[in-house]
Amino acid sequence: MGIEERYRRVAQQVAQTAREAGRDPGEVRLVAVSKTVGLSGVEAALAAGARDFGENRPDAIKKKAGEYPQARWHFIGNVQSRRIPDIVQCASLVHSLYQERHVARIDEAARRLGKVQDVLLEVNVSGEESKSGVAPGQAGALLRACEPFANVRVRGLMTMAPQGDKAVAHACFEDLARLHARLRDGLDAQRADAFDELSMGMSEDWQEAVFAGATIVRIGRAVFDDAFDEADR
């Protein structure tokens, strides 16, 4: 099966799962994580209707966003200070902000470009050492630290679940959804309106994420890797 067919199938499955979860399929955005493929892979997904792509390296997002500016580009990788201007130039949404020291730099880069940078706060819900993200108990402080910066708009939260156990992944996603609701309750009306995104769920666990309230799923292998099939889920 080629990328076009895989993308269409995954998009249908995401919409179907949203319906099964009693949700409007329009509430769940599919970000095709194209980090393992080149321009031709992106081209194939675009032809199948993909409009949102995720990349985890500044060089790759720069190259691909430059080539396909009609798509929305999501930065999902580790943010490094010196690459912030490149990231801000390309990304419609940065999913992976968790260091307070980066907020002022993102604000500055966005101001220079005359944009407001939408960001998500990455939360390490599971507490695994291999994962980046702010601890759940620190997310509120990070959210407040963003408030003085007019060119940074916090749109919600992002997490990655531990791999290998769907029940654990589901619990992790529900924790993030609860944290999101709690933080939103503490915001003023305008900020609360914008704080409406939950980025969670990858090839192996996106269904659990949709049931837990994901508004964005980030799917790589199920779209781009021919070796990934139903049996892997």
Ligand X SMILES: *Cc1c(COP(=O)(O)O)cnc(C)c1O
Binding site for ligand X (CB under 6 A): 33, 35, 56, 76, 160, 202-204, 218-222
Least Å distance, CB 130 to ligand X, is 12
d(CA 88, CA 132): 20
Q: For residues 32 and 149, which CB has a smaller minimum distance to ligand X in the complex? A: 32
Tokens read off for 44: 């194939």
Provide the strand spans (E) within 137-226.
152-158, 197-199, 216-219
- Rounded Cα gap, residues 178 and 166, in angstroms: 18
Beta carbon of residue 193, minimum distance to ligand X (angstroms, whole number)? 26
Burial class (CB in 10 A: 0-12, 13-18, 19+), 171: middle
The encoded tokens of residue 12 equal: 């249908």
Taking the least distance from each CB to ligand X, the nearer of 149 and 201 is: 201
Q: Taking the complex as a whole, how short is the minimal distance between the CB of residue 126 and ligand X, in angstroms?
A: 14
Give the integer Cα–Cα distance in Å for 175 and 85: 32
Beta carbon of residue 64, minimum distance to ligand X (angstroms, whole number): 15
CA gap 7, 111 in Å, rounded = 35
Which residue, 84 or 223, has its beta carbon nearer to ligand X? Answer: 223
Closest CB to ligand X: residue number:
220
Nearer to ligand X, 156 or 220 (CB): 220
What is the Cα–Cα distance from 114 to 38, expressed in whole angstroms? 30
Report the nearest approach of ligand X to the CB of residue 157 (Å). Answer: 13
CB nearer to ligand X: pick between 53 and 195: 53
